[in-house]
Amino acid sequence: MQTLTFLFLSLFTLRVAHALPLPFPAKTISPNKFNLRASSNFTVSPTSISTSTSASSSPSPSPPSSNRNKYVIAHHMVGNTFPYTSQDWLNDIKLAHASGIDGFALNVGSDPWQPDRVADAYATAQNSSLNFKMFLSLDMSSLPCASASDAAALRALVTPYLSHPNQFRYSRSSSTQAAAFVSTFSGESCKFGQSSVVEGWRTQFAQHPDLQGKMTFVPSFFVAPNQLSQFTGVIDGTFNWNGGWPVELTTASTGSSSTTLSSSLKIGGIEQALSNFIGSPESDRQFLQAFSTGSGNAKSTNTGSIYVAGVSPIFYTHFGKDSFNKNFLYVADQHLFSKRWESLISAQAPLGSDTDPTNGTLTQSPIADQVDIVEIISWNDYGESHYVGPIEGALPTGSEAWTDGMNHTAWLSLTSYYAEAFKTGSYPTLSSDEERIIMWSRTHPASANATSDTVGPVPGSELVLDAIWATALLSEPANVTLQIVPSSNSTSATPLSSQTFSVPAGLSKLTIPISVPDSDANADAGVSMRGIVERGGVNVIELDGGSQGFKFIKTPEQFNYNAWVGCAGEGCVI
């Protein structure tokens, strides 16, 4: 029998995408801790969970503990915008604004053309009349930081926008004037020619005369919470980038390969184990605890330390050793995007009558009152698959293999709902013209054998479930039917499998398994998905995945654990 173990990396492992070192060792936990057992069957049971906004089924939301404003920002990779015109920026700004997003964190790297795109973004925001904001996120995995001149170059990037009318400004304390917000990706090893990292950031950036007192500095330094105290006098808060995914989840297998391991997982055991981590705010709690005890306190008082939480729908990258050498995924099943949002919203989402861990809302005590800003990762990082914006601009070479035909803008129709709930402290009541259903899935089985993939199997795919994930946002109760249909005739074909759920008004999270029958004519053609919302005998919404381009096939040419996402209904943002 194969032996399956889980490797739980530290909650604060650094982003592998940039080959950053781990701050402390990983820990291996026996599968017996979760009563996992090997099986030749890998199944997903149809399940549902509802987050109702109706007065009869929802508890009264608790208002935020303070009247400070909360914001939703999207991380925008300037490095993918080389061909952008002002019209492209305007299109992004309008779509983001319509989705409840207040601004872009402009991830700027070392390419010499990127400052010009940053200038275009700010100018377009100013001309848009939408009060849409921008701030710089200095990508310190790309920008040099070894010398004082490198720091001077960073200051030269920041200073032109300190007084820009569309510069995002923030202060957690009502007694402190809001200053220009500046962030980073990484930077925890930068010395700028000084004796230490702390001295480098203090003397050459945060307290340099060019910037001192003129900005609010909230970086994403990849350090453990108890290490933030060394940055006293340097930072105003922290951005928990890795909180967006269950980065601590991966697998290790003895005597088996990753391509066969997923077929040996029994959903009843693994699903329960994984559900403890999907969308969990545990890493947020540890950072916030560091602030409350003063160990992570920065330039501000305890009540003034700013906390930014990362939210992301997925993470998958598949670059070979001849490219960026990034080939892995983070588990994004069990409605990661929704559950992560719900863990950051003041109003507790009701559990409903079905507490199956596939779809269940996290029940940890809320930390939402302490979260100031949600940063969506990302708007357009195609190389890591977590884009929620349109596929446009200049994609990283090779990423088209997993992004072509894999539109994610339907996730913006979830973003708008959760963004309003985060900022107001209560879930919005939906009108009839705001109803929609969002569905997503991957395009081949977790255990598939790719016929011509030169990169190889994807670490982490052992934990991926073969399922259709759906979210219904409804103004009234209805029956929602999810179906697996032949891809060759998805609109009118008799379903291969079907499950109907009776759901209340509000948001309901639904799941059914997906597979290609072995002894069926569809084995080569593949299957697709269909979702139907029916009320009073009338189909009021129908999402046909096949007509929108979705197909699930048994044997792909290349591995692709990216998601296809679709939306139907008047309430779809796009």
Write out pLDDT tens, residues 141-155: 999 999 999 999 999
In this prediction, residue 222 carries a pLDDT of 96
Distance in angstroms (rounded) separating the CA atoms of residues 526 and 548: 15
Which of the two residues, 507 and 48, has the higher pLDDT score? 507
- Which of 27-41, 273-287, 401-415 ranks highest by mean pLDDT? 401-415
pLDDT (average), residues 444-470:
94
Pairing of strands 527-535, 478-486: antiparallel
Give the CA count within 13 Å in the CB-facing half-sphere of 145.
Answer: 25
Distance in angstroms (rounded) separating the CA atoms of residues 260 and 274: 19
Residue 170: pLDDT over 90: yes
- Which of 62-66, 168-172, 493-497 ranks highest by mean pLDDT? 168-172
In this prediction, residue 522 carries a pLDDT of 58
pLDDT (average), residues 351-369:
57
Q: What is the pTM of this model?
A: 0.87
Count of beta carbons in the 10 Å neighbourhood of residue 557: 12
Which of the two residues, 37 and 391, has the higher pLDDT score? 391
Q: What Å distances lie between residue 524 and 178, 310, 514, CA to CA?
A: 59, 40, 15
In this prediction, residue 275 carries a pLDDT of 77
* Two tokens, residue 217: 């500095």
Q: Would you call 504 exposed, middle or buried from its count of C-beta atoms within 10 A (0-12, 13-18, 19+)? A: buried
Pairing of strands 497-503, 215-217: unpaired
Rg (CA), the chain: 23
The answer to whether the CB of 253 falls within 8 A of the CB of 12 is no
Indicate the range of 230-239, 335-344, 374-383, 485-494 predicted with least confidence. Answer: 485-494
In this prediction, residue 42 carries a pLDDT of 32
Share of the chain above pLDDT 70, in %: 77
In this prediction, residue 185 carries a pLDDT of 98
Residue 361: pLDDT over 90: no
Distance in angstroms (rounded) separating the CA atoms of residues 280 and 12: 13
In this prediction, residue 346 carries a pLDDT of 85
Banded model confidence at residue 251, pLDDT cuts 50, 70, 90: low
In this prediction, residue 299 carries a pLDDT of 55
pLDDT (average), residues 345-363:
58
Per-domain residue ranges of the chain: 69-248+278-428, 429-574
In terms of Cα–Cα distance, which of 497, 562, 567, 573 is closest to 528?
Answer: 497
- Residue 380 DSSP class: S
Distance in angstroms (rounded) separating the CA atoms of residues 420 and 386: 21
Q: Mind listing the pLDDT tens digit for each residue in 50-104?
A: 544 433 333 333 333 445 789 999 999 999 999 999 999 999 999 999 999 999 9
Q: Show contacts of 448-452: CB within 8 Å, 24+ apart.
A: 448/554, 448/555, 448/556, 448/559, 449/259, 449/555, 450/555, 450/556, 450/557, 450/558, 450/559, 451/555, 451/556, 451/557, 452/557, 452/558
The answer to whether the CB of 460 falls within 8 A of the CB of 250 is yes
Collapse the DSSP code of 70 into the 3-class scheme (helix H, G, I; strand E, B; otherwise coil) and give the result.
coil
DSSP string, 512-527: EE----TTSTHHHH-E
In this prediction, residue 389 carries a pLDDT of 98
Distance in angstroms (rounded) separating the CA atoms of residues 414 and 335: 11
Banded model confidence at residue 232, pLDDT cuts 50, 70, 90: confident
Pairing of strands 103-108, 133-139: parallel
Residue 335: pLDDT over 90: yes
Strands across the sheet containing 436-441? 47-51, 506-513, 467-474, 436-441, 564-568
In this prediction, residue 43 carries a pLDDT of 40
Backbone dihedral angles phi then psi of residue 263, each to the nearest 5 degrees: -75, -10
Share of the chain above pLDDT 90, in %: 69
Indicate the range of 289-293, 358-362, 371-375 predicted with least confidence. Answer: 358-362
CATH of domain 69-248+278-428: 3.20.20.80
Indicate the range of 292-301, 432-441, 471-480 predicted with least confidence. Answer: 292-301
Indicate the range of 348-352, 447-451, 475-479 predicted with least confidence. Answer: 348-352
Q: Which residues of 261-299 are buried (b: 16+ CB within 10 A; e: fewer)?
A: bbbbbebebbbebbbebbbbbbbbbbbbebbeeeebbbb
Amino acid at site 480: V
**Average pLDDT in the chain:** 83
Banded model confidence at residue 397, pLDDT cuts 50, 70, 90: very high
Distance in angstroms (rounded) separating the CA atoms of residues 355 and 346: 20
In terms of Cα–Cα distance, which of 561, 454, 457, 539 is closest to 491?
Answer: 539
Q: What Å distances lie between residue 473 and 50, 451, 509, 572, CA to CA?
A: 10, 39, 9, 10
Pairing of strands 506-513, 47-51: antiparallel
Distance in angstroms (rounded) separating the CA atoms of residues 412 and 378: 11
DSSP string, 433-494: GG-EEEEEE-SS-TT---SS-SS---TTGGG---EEEEEEEESS-EEEEEEEEEGGGTTTSP
Residue 300: pLDDT over 60: no
In this prediction, residue 468 carries a pLDDT of 97
Distance in angstroms (rounded) separating the CA atoms of residues 336 and 333: 6
Banded model confidence at residue 489, pLDDT cuts 50, 70, 90: low
Collapse the DSSP code of 511 into the 3-class scheme (helix H, G, I; strand E, B; otherwise coil) and give the result.
strand
Distance in angstroms (rounded) separating the CA atoms of residues 566 and 548: 7
